[in-house]
Amino acid sequence: SGGTVQFVLINNQFMKKWDERYKQWLICIQNVFSYQLPRMGKDYITRLVFDPRHLTLALIKNGYRAIGGINFRPFITQGFSEIVFCAVSSDEQVKGYGTRMMNHLKDYHLSQGIFYFLTYADSYAIGYFKKLGFSKYVTLPKERYQGFIKEYDGATLMECRLDPRLSYN
Ligand code: 1VU
């Protein structure tokens, strides 16, 4: 293996002239999400990946290949982001990319003055989120997120509180 990876934040909100390369990357990442998170349903994933209110942090290998990503929705007035989908393609898992991707997202949020992540984690992903600093103990007051984030049956709400004194990379 080997090779270099970079992180690209893709947001289709302000792109009047849609960058064809970004579109191809989003399609690849949407396929990774569909394959890795089959219970979410492909149509639902497609809708949220291309929703202008959602952003995708793309994990790009060797300058051209999208091998994973994190889709999230910032709620700036509420002071948190919802982590919606997070996945790395099968052949690139357990190489540390999932960790680096989340750390990159944390530093981006510190730069934006957002200090909380919330996610509905599948039971098999709870361990991964715990390693990355997420907890089932949610400290954010309910009125800050209730009605803003979508509940998923059988999933566990988890929170990650970012420390503004830290750098995660
Ligand atoms: O640091 P350690 O070595 O102790 O632990 C690693 C790694 O061993 C562990 N880990 C796993 N543990 C249990 N089951 C797994 N499937 C699993 N995969 C990894 O987690 C620590 C971090 O490893 P990493 O930095 O190498 O992470 P990856 O690059 O492998 O990426 C992790 C994810 C979870 C993104 C990847 O395995 C993946 O795409 N899995 C399938 C999709 C998934 O479950 N996504 C999260 C679902 S919840 C969601 O998206 C809604 C919010």
User: What's the predicted TM-score (pTM) here?
Assistant: 0.94
> How far is the centre of ligand 1, averaged over its atoms, from the C-alpha of 144 (Å)?
28
Q: What separation in Å is there between the alpha carbon of 85 and the centre of ligand 1?
A: 12
Looking at residue 91, its pLDDT comes to: 96
CA-nearest residue for atom 25, ligand 1, is: 96
Q: Identify the pLDDT of residue 14.
A: 57
Ligand 1 interacting residues, C-beta cut-off 6 A: 36-37, 83, 85-88, 93-99, 119, 121-122, 125, 127-128, 131
Distance 128 CA to ligand 1 centre (A): 5
* pLDDT tens, N- to C-terminus, the chain (169 residues): 567 999 999 987 656 567 888 989 999 999 999 999 998 999 999 999 999 999 999 999 999 999 999 999 999 999 999 999 999 999 999 999 999 999 999 999 999 999 999 999 988 899 999 999 999 999 999 999 999 998 888 899 999 999 999 889 8
In ligand 1, which atom is closest to the CA atom of 95? 26
Q: What ranges in 62-156 are assigned the alpha helix state H?
A: 97-112, 126-131, 142-145
Question: How far, in whole angstroms, is CA 108 from its chain's centroid?
Answer: 12
Round to whole Å and give the CA distance between 50 and 9.
13
Q: Which of 80, 94, 169 to mutate to test the pocket of ligand 1 (most atoms within 8 A of CB)?
A: 94
Nearest CA to ligand 1 atom 17: 128
User: Quick check: ipTM above 0.95?
Assistant: no
Residue nearest to atom 47 of ligand 1 (CA): 125
Nearest of 14, 9, 58 to residue 33 by alpha carbon: 58
Task: Just list the catalytic residues.
Answer: 82
pLDDT of residue 50: 93
The span from the CA of 91 to the CA of 94, in Å, is 9
